[in-house]
Amino acid sequence: MKKEQIGKRLREVRINARLTQREMATLVNLATGSIGAMENGLYTPNFDVLRVIHNRLGVSYDYIIDGLESPDNTAKLIEENTRLKDELDRMKKIVDKLVK
Convert the pLDDT of each residue in 66-94 to its tens digit. 887 654 555 566 677 778 888 888 999 99
Confidence tier at 60 by pLDDT (50, 70, 90):
confident
pTM for the model: 0.66
- CATH 3.40.50.620 for domain 2-99, yes or no, is no
55-63 long-range contacts, CB within 8 A, separation 24+ = 56/27, 57/13, 57/17, 57/27, 59/13, 63/9, 63/13
Mean of per-residue pLDDT scores for the chain? 85
